[in-house]
Amino acid sequence: MYRIMIIEDEEKIRNIIKKSLEKWSFEAHAVEDFNDIFEQFVKVKPNLVLMDINLPVCDGFYWCSKIRNISKVPVIFLSSRSSNMDVVMAVNMGGDDYITKPFSIEILMAKINAILRRTYSYSETEMDTIEFKDVIISLKNNTVYYNENSIELTKNEFKIIYVLMKNHDSIVSREKIMQELWQDESFIDDNTLTVNINRLRKKLKEIGVDFIKTIKGQGYVIK
């Protein structure tokens, strides 16, 4: 079942869209708190976003640009604004389609289905991010995000945090991490792993993250 995220501040329109999506057997998630849209996006992991432009706090263009930093998920803009500049802005911010209000629910559903078929016919439906305790890693660009901060990692540093976050709250042995790093045939010995772990910790501390713990004689854990 595809997950659709509705970011629309007009309650009547939001409810109509939500009911229509559920009628079409979509899993609909309607945003009601517009202060933390990005965090909700990460938790919901939608397959498509319906985005109004005129929103409280920050507009839809801002939130679309934030989403585009970590994901290629399709975004359809819904707006009563119909100027050429608004459409151009929507496209430049990474929007996949633009529908002007008032619109036909039938047309909206047709566009949603078309974009989902086009996007996911030959690809995985899962979003390309992992999140744990407000730390987000993007498989798209080897970047870690925390609050308003971000830092780009090397390939090996990213593989280390990836395997640790995929197994958060569980101890991951040094051997398992090295096996992950060896997959691309690059040679990583025990000393090289220690250097990479130390560099990773240092980079994470620069953005306020300190959650990689050493378990003596066993490995590492994120918790």
Asked whether residue 124 carries a pLDDT value surpassing 60, the answer given is: no
Q: Give the CATH class of 129-222.
A: mainly alpha
Q: Rounded to 10 degrees, what is the CA torsion of 192, 193, 194, 195? A: 50
Distance CA 82, CA 98 (A): 9
pLDDT above 90 coverage of the chain, percent? 50
Instruction: Provide the whole-model pTM.
Output: 0.64
Closest listed residue to residue 80, CA positions, set 102, 97, 95, 61? 102
Which CATH architecture describes the domain 3-120? 3-Layer(aba) Sandwich (3.40)
- Between strands 3-7 and 48-52, the pairing is parallel
Domain coordinates in residue numbering, the chain: 3-120, 129-222
Q: Rounded to 10 degrees, what is the CA torsion of 164, 170, 175, 181? A: -20
- Confirm if 42 and 71 have CB atoms less than 8 A apart: no
- Confirm if 75 and 64 have CB atoms less than 8 A apart: yes
What is the residue whose two structure tokens read 């979509």?
26
pLDDT digits 0-9 by tens, 63-78: 999 999 888 899 999 9
Determine how many CB atoms are found less than 10 A away from the CB of residue 16: 14
pLDDT digits 0-9 by tens, 19-49: 999 999 899 999 999 998 998 999 899 999 9
Averaged confidence pLDDT in the chain: 88
Between the CA of residue 65 and those of 30, 37, 142, 197, what are the distances in Å? 19, 12, 17, 31
